[in-house]
Amino acid sequence: MKLVTFYSGRGINIVKGENQYVWDDKGNKYLDLHAGHGVAFLGHNNKTIVRYLEKQMSEIMTLTTAFNTPIREEMLKELDKVKTGNLDNVFLLNSGSEAVELAMKSARKITGRKKFIAFKNSFHGRTSGSLSVTWTKRYREPFEPLLGPVDFLDFNNIDELKKIDENTAAIIVEPVQGEGGVIPAKEDFMKALKEVSQDKGALLIVDEVQSGFGRTGRVWAHQHFGIVPDIMTAGKAIGGGFPVSAVFMPDWIAEKLGEGDHGTTYGGNPMAAAAVTAATKVLVEENVAEQAKEKGEIFMRMLKDSLGDFKSVREIRGLGLMIGIDLRLNPAHAIKVLQDSKILSLKAGLTVIRFLSPYMITQEDMEMVVNAARKGISETESKAVTS
Annotated binding site for substrate: 126, 264
**Is 315 contained in some domain?**
no
For the stretch 78-127, pLDDT in tens is: 999 999 999 999 999 999 999 999 999 999 999 999 999 999 999 999 99
Domain assignment present for 9: no
322-327 and 352-356 strand pairing: antiparallel
Q: Determine contact, residues 343/366, Cβ cutoff 8 Å.
A: no
pLDDT digits (tens, 9 = 90+) for 330-353: 999 999 999 999 999 999 999 999
The answer to whether residue 383 scores a pLDDT higher than 90 is no
DSSP annotation of 385: H
The whole-number pLDDT of residue 192 equals 98
Does 30 reside within a domain? no
Residues 30 and 344: beta-carbon distance below 8 Å: yes
Alpha carbons 102 and 263: distance in angstroms, whole number: 9
For residue 249, give its domain range: 47-285
Would you state the pLDDT for residue 387?
65
| 340 Cβ neighbours under 8 A, 6+ residues apart | none
- Distance (Å, whole) CA 105 – CA 111: 10
The DSSP secondary-structure symbol of 296 reads H
Query: Is 328 within a domain?
Result: no
189-216 tens-digit pLDDT: 999 999 999 999 999 999 999 999 999 9
Q: Which of 234, 161, 149 is nearest to 191 (CA)?
A: 161
Q: Is the pLDDT score of 136 beyond 80?
A: yes
Does 59 have pLDDT greater than 90?
yes
What is the spatial distance between Cα 20 and Cα 355, in angstroms, rounded to a whole number? Answer: 12
What pLDDT digit, counting tens, does each position of 26-37 carry?
A: 999 999 999 999
With respect to residue 13, please indicate whether it lies within any of the assigned structural domains: no
Beta-bridge mates of residue 118:
152
Q: For residues 35-55, give the mean pLDDT.
A: 98
**Length of the chain counted residue by residue:** 387
Mean pLDDT over 278-298 rounds to 98
371 lies in a domain?
A: no
Nearest to 360 by CA among 300, 283, 302: 283
Annotated binding site for pyridoxal 5'-phosphate: 123, 207-210, 265
The answer as to whether 14 is a domain residue is no
Q: What is the 3-state secondary structure (H, E, C) of 221-256?
A: HHHHHCCCCCEEEECHHHHCCCCCEEEEECHHHHCC
List the binding residues. Answer: 123, 126, 207-210, 264-265
What is the total count of domains within the chain? Answer: 1
Half-sphere exposure of 79 (CA within 13 A, CB side): 26
Q: What is the 8-class DSSP label of residue 19? A: B
Q: Does residue 56 have a pLDDT over 80?
A: yes
Q: Is the dihedral of CA 277, 279, 280, 284 positive or negative?
A: positive
Mean pLDDT of the chain: 97
In a domain, 17, yes or no: no
Query: What's the CATH number where 161 sits?
Result: 3.40.640.10
Q: What is the pLDDT of residue 340?
A: 98
